[in-house]
Amino acid sequence: MLIAGNWKMHKSPAEAAEFCLALRDEEVGGVDVVVCPPYVSLAVAVQLLAGTEIAVAAQNVHWEQEGAYTGEISARMLLELGVYGTIVGHSERRQLFGETDESVAKRARAALDAGLFVIACAGETEQERERGATEEVLRRQLSMFEADDNLVIAYEPVWAIGTGKTATPELAQEAHTFIKSLVDVPVLYGGSVKPDNAADLLGQPDVDGALVGGASLELDSFTAICRAAARS
């Protein structure tokens, strides 16, 4: 069971340091835990979580090793920093910054080839779900992926991200089963995961963990989700 906290554009280096120092002292049970700070806070998180079982991942990565790509960061740079892995294809990257299925796949492939662990995101919008296109969207988004020991998929229904809406455990299970028929890797659920719904979601047979957004920013809520995962 893997619980990953995506901090998005939150937590400066000082705030990340405070959080990581506190997280070190928490008992989170027998689950794999990853935190995903913004770029400027990666180094301090790596430093303060060294020697623990808690991994640090980036929120994105470029497909080239270096070059004229202003604002981008390569897998080689992340590895030198001591970063364990990266998210690719988060719905906010797709919706706000023009990421495509092709660019997401290129980012994932470069990261995997470099030896990084990858959490690749996929999921449908509310309009796509309402017209019955969920499986079509997932098939398209994941068509360029294949099983890899360092790859997990995060199913994040876009309509459930930051909205307070959450897929029912049954809907999550149905989507995860379909994703595993496309790519035989673990699948996390992402979309308004909170302490009060984590146990029901994580108790589904094909839900292998969670990609947690807002609830990962507070120590109490994040560790409560980790403990719920440990009991699942």
Q: Give me the active site residues, please.
A: 90, 156
- Report which DSSP code applies to 158: G
Contact 75, 116 (CB under 8 A): yes
How far is the C-alpha of 232 from the C-alpha of 215, rounded, in Å?
Answer: 19
> How many Å is the Cα radius of gyration of the chain?
16
Are the C-beta atoms of residues 55 and 117 closer than 8 Å to each other?
yes
β-bridge partners, 209: 2
- Residue 25: Cβ-neighbour burial (10 angstroms; 0-12, 13-18, 19+): exposed
Both tokens of 1, joined, read 């069971």
Q: How far apart are the first and last CA of the chain?
A: 9
